[in-house]
Amino acid sequence: MSTMQPKTEKLKKAIQWISEKRKENPDTAPGKLVDDAGFQFDLSPKDSQFLLRFVKNDDHQNPA
């Protein structure tokens, strides 16, 4: 089993931010959170794609 590791400090902060937002409002769509994080943390398209995969992977590992 492989775990995905964020490559940059911006990605780490974005993941933390999304985690906090999901606790506050679990019904928010993952895609919206990734888009918002992309703007907030000035992520590259590649980083945003990684983040979306990370969030979706997390959903499968931790179903509500």
**5 in a structural domain:** no
pLDDT at position 2? 45
pLDDT at position 62? 64
**59 in a structural domain:** yes
CA-only gyration radius of the chain, Å: 11
**11 in a structural domain:** no
**52 in a structural domain:** yes
Q: How many structural domains is the chain composed of? A: 1
Q: What is the per-residue pLDDT across 2-56, written as a single tens digit (0 to 9) for each?
A: 455 556 899 999 999 999 999 999 999 999 999 999 999 999 999 999 999 988 8
Domain of residue 63, residue span: 31-64
Q: pTM for the full model? A: 0.76
**7 in a structural domain:** no
